[in-house]
Amino acid sequence: MATPSVFSLELDLDLFAGPFDLLLALVLRDEVDLAEVPVAEVCVAYLERLGATSDLDLEAATEFLVLVAALVEMKSRLLIPGAEDDEPLDALEAADELAARLAEYARIRAAAAWLGDRRHDLGRRLFRVGPAPLAAPRPPDREVMSSDPAALAAAITRLLRPALAVDLSHLPRRLVPVRDFLARFRRLLDERGSFTFDDAVSGLDRMGIAVAFWALLDLYRRGEVLLAQPEAFAAIEVAAVTASFRREAVA
């Protein structure tokens, strides 16, 4: 059994018997004196209903807290005299105040739901990029320079010293000829008529992919292929240029 809504609460008071929403409407229309409404008994009745439920609905319970808190505040204004310039609220003003509080509660509840969705999508931990908005700027780290002329001369000497040559003889030099990819792409065009660049370079390393892309651009420059890419980072579609298309392009 779920938590009952505040508007489905049935009350049996000395002053009134019936649903809570009817009591609230009578209070706002000044047909029932708010000073005579036992708010404590209303709270006890709702807590008894909560005790009989097995599942607590926080939204329904929060609606009850908002409405009862508003009733308690309006009742305290009636029972406890305030400043001389304070005027008691009429029925319309009381209704507007209750509606404003419910609207504020709905706004906060929507914001909490949005934050809950963000937490579910992004995880429990978010990291800030950049400094905090109110953080003081960090002073730059400046190394105190020495005023010793000998130290300055030694620093200039180190700057003028030629850098050591880096020996790259141990690194393998692998040459990937462009003509191999030109032959492969032309063979694929003869067999299929079209293909995607990703399928053609599947399994190659970065060097091979770069050379293959160079070969594809060379085929496009020669007018042998048509290239298409529906959107950014999508697969590059390669199609053979027909003879009629070549004649139209030349014309």
Residues 6+ apart with CB under 8 A from 157: none
pLDDT for 94 equals 65
Measured in whole angstroms, the distance separating CA 163 from the mean position of its chain's CA atoms is 50
Convert the pLDDT of each residue in 2-42 to its tens digit: 555 656 667 767 666 667 766 676 666 666 677 777 778 77
Distance from C-alpha of 85 to C-alpha of 119, rounded to nearest angstrom: 48
Higher-confidence residue of 23 and 44: namely 44
pLDDT tens digits for 182-234? 999 999 999 988 999 999 998 888 888 999 999 999 999 988 899 999 888 88
Give the pLDDT confidence score for residue 87 in this predicted structure: 59
Residues spanned by the domain of 206:
178-250
What value does the mean pLDDT of the chain take?
Answer: 76
Q: Is the dihedral of CA 21, 23, 25, 28 positive or negative?
A: negative
* Same-domain status, 118 and 12: yes
Residues 90 and 13 in one domain: yes
Final residue belonging to a domain, choices 122, 141, 170: 122
Q: Using 50, 70 and 90 to split pLDDT, how confident is the model at 177?
A: confident
Same domain, 12 and 112: yes
The pLDDT score that the predictor gives to residue 85 is: 46
Q: What is the DSSP string of 75-101?
A: HHHHHS---TT-----HHHHHHHHHHH
Per the domain annotation, does 132 fall within a domain? Answer: no
Q: Are 3 and 53 spatial neighbours (Cβ–Cβ below 8 Å)?
A: yes
Q: How confident is the model at residue 131 (pLDDT cuts 50, 70, 90)?
A: low
Which 3 state secondary structure label does DSSP give 227?
A: strand
pLDDT at 251 > cutoff 50: no
Q: What is the pLDDT of residues 47-63, one digit of tens each?
A: 877 777 767 777 777 77
In this structure, is residue 191 part of a structural domain?
yes
Q: Could you tell me what percentage of the chain is helix, strand and coil, using 3-state DSSP and rounding each to the nearest 5?
A: 55, 5, 40
pLDDT of residue 228: 92
Q: Would residue 161 count as lying in a domain?
A: no
DSSP reduced 3-state for 237: strand
Residue at 241 is within a domain: yes
Q: How far is CA 164 from CA 12, 155, 167, 169, 189, in A?
A: 96, 17, 9, 15, 50
Residue at token pair 């030109």: 182
In a domain, 236, yes or no: yes
The mean pLDDT of 76-81, rounded to a whole number, is 74
pLDDT-based confidence at 81, cuts 50/70/90?
A: low
The CATH number that applies at residue 201 is 1.10.10.580
Domain assignment present for residue 39? The answer is yes
Residue 173 lies in a domain: no
* Separation of alpha carbons 38 and 192, rounded Å: 85
